[in-house]
Amino acid sequence: MNAFKKMIQDYVLRLKMNRIDNSTAFIPFDDIRNAIVFCDTSLSSEKKLIDLHNLLSSKKINCKLLMYVPSISIEDSNMNITYVRDKDISWKGSFIDKTVNDIYENEYDVLFDLRNSSTVLSDFLVKSLKYKFSVGIADNVKGADLVIETKGDIKKFIELIIEYLKKLKS
């Protein structure tokens, strides 16, 4: 029965994703006030995520961290990161958890997408966020406005994002 529910959920999520329009508007680095960092279990260390958060915060950017983990117990979670679990999303694509729902109601200047691969569910989670510009880490994950290919090296990505975003002009 679980496989059938998953198949229905994937179908519904694909339909919903087709209706979402994320129009792109470049934001100069000095104008970025709030950002969201999204990753999934392909990220090898939550510490790297916290490092990116600290870097952005040091530049006076309000930053939220969102991680998709199919299942995790609350005791295992890091308090600085908001986790989205499979059970937090209904088969219709609505968010059951209030904390997750609050993140999806906010609008962000920049999305940093740290996924190395994509699934229907992770694509839906990213596409449902409200952002003006997105920066990705992997060219095989579609949807990013700017891709900084670092072969999964988050440390190198962290070093390059500010340099690249400062060089880009609107």
Domains of the chain: 2-167 (3.40.50)
| Percent of the chain residues past pLDDT 90, beyond the cut | 21
Distance CA 149, CA 153 (A): 9
Lay out the sheet containing 146-147: strands in order across: 82-84, 62-68, 34-40, 107-113, 130-136, 146-147
pLDDT surpasses 90 at 131: yes
Instruction: Give the tens place of pLDDT for each residue, 19-28.
Output: 777 777 878 7
Q: What is the mean pLDDT of residues 93-119?
A: 89
Angle, in degrees to the nearest 10, between helices 46-58 and 154-167: 30
pLDDT surpasses 60 at 123: yes
With cut-offs at 50, 70 and 90, classify the pLDDT of residue 37. very high
Say what the pLDDT of residue 86 is. Answer: 84
45: tokens are 């260390």
With cut-offs at 50, 70 and 90, classify the pLDDT of residue 158. confident
Nearest one of 53, 66, 49, 35 to 135, comparing CA atoms: 35
pTM of the predicted structure, to 2 decimals: 0.85
